[in-house]
Structure 1
């Protein structure tokens, strides 16, 4: 999820006597410059202009109210085909969707307009990620993708050109992360991970040790954690390529991982989540309650949200190793789960996308409903992007709560 950047630094401007040798005019000029810097921190990346404190907080209040009351605008896009959406990422400029028909589509976030379709993969795309920043040297915004054709491709999002095709995996690429802006990390069904230099196309590390498919990866600092169908997770150094720890304890495949530097959390087909120490590899706790696969993990500070194939949603307090609440969220498996400071959004195979209060777990309302599965959901402070199947076709809805009047725009 990608929320607007808001500076947490607070600055105060106090009147003080001019320093020795400094005129009061010079001091006033410095104070005005400082005030300008403070105001700039509160500028809105969405509105493209500097907002006063009052305007900024009023806007945030209105957005939160619109979430609750359902005041929203919506852009609906229906694709010509029926490809399953396998990957979704967005920021304030772009929405990127990967499909099992080998296409990658890039949309304009504010308007929902389809900007370009990236063609090059010959089989389904299963993993993608784009850098949040534009490269200061090349001016490019980089997207990396991988899939069933075993290729890792590097794209310039602005032009749609493929910059690199990186070969080496012998199985489907199932998970992918950009690291340190310069490297891409891929996990494959060939039981290996690779670290690639995005700009040269060269493989920096081949990480071997898993005995079955690598299903999920997460990074924090210079550490990488991988989860596998061999029922283990491994901690790797991205500096040396060395395997530092092997985390053993699950009885079935690992499908999901979260990592914040303090905890490693793994979700498994054995219906449990396990908390691990990233320094010792010790299992700190086993979280039980789900009755099926735990495929969705979201970690924020000391709180962990889990979603399962049983349709249940749990909020856990990791300091106390306690469950804050348990919610029967969907009639079928939860396919997407995301939350921020105030709210939770879930999507399920029952075709519903639902909004929940994060503090209490109370149901607030349904955001959308379709006749088939919800594939992917992503949120930021003022938007929800939903990818689904509707009437046998691939559909996407972009719901915006930073709005005054409700509107609906359909695009085909």
Structure 2
């Protein structure tokens, strides 16, 4: 039996080149999810493991054991807590200091492929192979909603305030209201499954990415949500989108990552007339890697972007734009 040893690497590159800071070994499967803050990186893998790394010393701090299937999502929270989701249908809360699972805070009827959590309200959203967007209030210990409407797997989910956005293999994205328990809009302009959805924090615009390789920017205009800009920069499926106020990171199946920014909003906070979402501009051409870029996470205070790929490499990219 052959065992594939997978390495996690942390890079500190600039536009002029890449300097390898460390190679972190531990996972024996593809890394599916990463999350980072100033001091730590959490990674989840197909080998059912969740690792917590120290960014400065490159040491493995903790292994969080408890999932019985591949880990699809990880999320670092305040107070030394980590939230994880897996194909075993569970979402778990961990205390990193004690290396213990505090609670299983969510259960789905099938594999969880995506999750989102609002640490300020305690609202958890998760979706997956059962095509249901499940919403829990984990502080109250109750399920709030089971949003029905998608007809195939839910691949991506984002939550901004009262709004939940989901992307599905049924070629649509849906906009839901948590307080009303309703579907407010259906976005259906892609020619393939929607694998990634994101919300721009500055203007609440929506960004979707699909297997058709297209990146679409949406705005809430009078009369409904409309697509205001389409971008084709990658030759493969858009797997991950991560947005800040003035920058946007894209990870794709063509083994590359691209960066967008909005220079007009860096100059005195002014925005261009007309479409705000249409103001995103390509900042850096796709950066080639040795494998598919499956996940992107941001470290805004240090102006860095983490990217993780099918080969198990975890890289830290330095964003030289003015965030």
Residue 267 of structure 2 corresponds to none
Aligned equivalent of 1:294, options 219, 235, 238: 238
Name the one with the larger helix percent: 1
Residue 143 of structure 1 corresponds to 82
Aligned equivalent of 1:153, options 92, 96, 104: 92
Question: How far does residue 315 in structure 1 lie from its aligned partner after superposition?
Answer: 5.0
After TM superposition, list the pairs within 5 Å mapping 1:240-279 onto structure 2: 240-260=180-200, 261-278=203-220
Question: How far does residue 189 in structure 1 lie from its aligned partner after superposition?
Answer: 1.2
Question: How far does residue 75 in structure 1 lie from its aligned partner after superposition?
Answer: 4.0
Matched, 1:204 2:148: no
Cα distance in structure 1, aligned partners of 2:190 and 2:169: 10
Cα distance in structure 1, aligned partners of 2:86 and 2:305: 29
Largest Rg, 1 or 2: 1
Residues 83, 92 of structure 2: 8 Å contact kept: yes
What is the aligned length? 287
Cα distance in structure 2, aligned partners of 1:378 and 1:145: 21
Question: How far does residue 230 in structure 1 lie from its aligned partner after superposition?
Answer: 0.7
After TM superposition, list the pairs within 5 Å mapping 1:88-107 onto structure 2: 88-107=34-53
Cα distance in structure 2, aligned partners of 1:222 and 1:381: 30
Cα distance in structure 2, aligned partners of 1:283 and 1:187: 24
Cα distance in structure 2, aligned partners of 1:68 and 1:179: 34
Consecutive unaligned residues of structure 2, counting only runs of 5 or more, are 1-11, 263-276
TM-score using structure 1 length: 0.60
Residue 329 of structure 1 corresponds to 288
Consecutive unaligned residues of structure 1, counting only runs of 5 or more, are 1-64, 135-140, 350-372, 383-412
TM-score using structure 2 length: 0.75
Question: How far does residue 114 in structure 1 lie from its aligned partner after superposition?
Answer: 2.5
Residue 115 of structure 1 corresponds to 61
Residue 165 of structure 1 corresponds to 104
Residues 117, 159 of structure 2: 8 Å contact kept: no
Residues 164, 198 of structure 1: 8 Å contact kept: no
Residue 55 of structure 1 corresponds to none
**Which SS does the other structure have where 1:277 is aligned?**
strand
Cα distance in structure 1, aligned partners of 2:286 and 2:62: 40
Question: How far does residue 287 in structure 1 lie from its aligned partner after superposition?
Answer: 1.9
Q: Are the structure 2 counterparts of residues 106 and 306 from structure 1 closer, same or farther at C-alpha, using a change threshold of 3 Å?
A: closer
After TM superposition, list the pairs within 5 Å mapping 1:219-238 onto structure 2: 219-238=159-178
After TM superposition, list the pairs within 5 Å mapping 1:11-410 onto structure 2: 74-79=21-26, 82-131=28-77, 133-134=78-79, 141-166=80-105, 168-181=107-120, 182-260=122-200, 261-278=203-220, 280-301=224-245, 303-311=247-255, 314-315=258-259, 318-320=277-279, 323=282, 326-327=285-286, 329-330=288-289, 333-335=292-294, 373-378=311-316
Name the one with the larger strand percent: 2
Residues 263, 275 of structure 1: 8 Å contact kept: yes
RMSD after superposition: 3.4
